[in-house]
Amino acid sequence: MLTANHLHRPLSSSLGRALLRPLSTSPSTPSTPSTPATSTSSPSSNSPPPQGPNSTGRYHWIGPPTSRYKVPTQLSNLSRFFPSDTSTPASGRSWSASDLRKKSFSDLHKLHFTLYREYNLLWTEQGFARRSGGFFENPGRKQNVKKSMAAIKQVLGERKREIQAEKENKEEE
């Protein structure tokens, strides 16, 4: 729970020190031996604290950290479910079972998850269009993805039945 003491604690980290700089009313020029150096920003000074939009009392806010604190980041996994650009590519036909019978299991596995991600992207777009009062531009594309996923399921079912039939034949012999 935050209390008033939390709000008035001094910034002690190096990042905090980078963000705050002591105020000075005179430009920082080296003092010459003939003139005594006086500090107008000392705590014992009777001058009132500075006023203004960036004033925090004794310290002056200089803004966010510089680019040295920037860390390169990767896109999150959720960004794959949103379109990368506004133009929609033309979609072709769905995968047929005869096309998929030529594929290996690992290729079917990769294709299934690619189609699953595409289906979720289209589902998200459809929900956004419904909530915003617009219209969904790709209903045919969503149907093609569903047909392709059904064809993959059909091909994997055929392969499973063939493997079971071979096992039964070996057991009978």
Structure confidence at residue 81 (pLDDT)? 63
Domain ranges within the chain, ordered by starting residue: 97-172
pTM score over 0.75:
no
Going from the C-alpha of 78 to that of each of 1, 81, 84, 124, 145, the distances in angstroms are 32, 6, 12, 11, 20
Partners of residue 20 on adjacent β-strands = 61
Most confident stretch, 41-45, 74-78, 122-126, 153-157: 153-157
What's the CATH number of domain 97-172, 2.30.29, 1.10.287, 3.10.310, 3.30.70? 1.10.287
Q: How are beta strands 59-61 and 20-22 bridged, if at all?
A: antiparallel
Helix runs in 13-138, H state only: 14-19, 97-100, 105-132
pLDDT in tens, 4-29: 444 444 444 444 444 444 555 555 44
CB atoms under 10 Å from CB of 138, counted, come to 16
Structure confidence at residue 165 (pLDDT)? 95
Rounded-to-integer distance, Cα 103 and Cα 112, Å: 12
